[in-house]
Structure 1
Amino acid sequence: MLKGIPPILSPDLLKILRAMGHGDEIAIVDANYPAESAGPRLVRLDGQSATDVLDAILGLMPLDSYVEHAAFCMQVVGEPDRVEPIMEEFSSIISHHETGFDLGSIERFAFYDRVRSAYAIVQTGETRLYGNVLLKKGVISPDDK
């Protein structure tokens, strides 16, 4: 155990977060997501919700402020403008950790394609549908404490 590090973040995930560079992406996905076959490094956090994992990761990792959207969810199939309750929770968690960031959305298969090129995937035990979010890592400037 370490002080200030959320205990749900495994040693493997902490190593990945530390190794990621500016612009690298990490996906937090639900229990239904085809993560094993997607390709990138995979960390399993079975039993954890996607919202708890998002909160823990954003407590450590900055989002990219140089792009229009640094966080994306998967659009509801056939209803791209529909916002599921879990998406509202994702937005709230992002707003808690980062100022001025909006949650974007990507069509389902475009989301799958983007995750295939991500640095890593964190598969959670999330059972709520559309419990998937993709994050682009930012920088910590010398002025940040």
Structure 2
Amino acid sequence: MNFKMILGFFCLTLLIFNSSFLEAKEEPGAANKKSAMANLKSVKGQVGILRSKYIEIEYAQDKDGAYSMVFPIPKDIEIQNKKSIDEIQQGDTVELIYEERTWLTEDGEEKSEAVPKKIRFVSAAPPQNQLISEETE
């Protein structure tokens, strides 16, 4: 009887020690990463600037100017309706689907980042001479 109690106590102590040891090894901010949220969102508009590492999408305009969003272009991004990102040009209409990740920092500040997942080509930019004729009318 005493042997079983001692063995049970030893196992319980070992279990508690292991769980606290594993908890101490967690990386800083891991609790905040666990509470992170991710939502899929999309933006549709004209390509403003397109470089090898980022894309700007102008999604609205008013009398004060254009509204745009800039996204990094990951190497593994999916391209729809074109063979590669190299076929997309400034002025083309695209829809970019991205994952918005939001988390709390250790200071309690909310941070977010947009991770592009897919670029869908919608339509080509109008020819340059068509733009000029529309402006002169």
Report if TM-score (shorter chain) is over 0.5. Answer: no
TM normalised by structure 1 equals 0.26
Higher strand share: 2
Structure number with the bigger relative contact order (C-alpha 8 A, sep ≥ 6) is 1
TM normalised by structure 2 equals 0.27
Structure showing greater Rg? 2
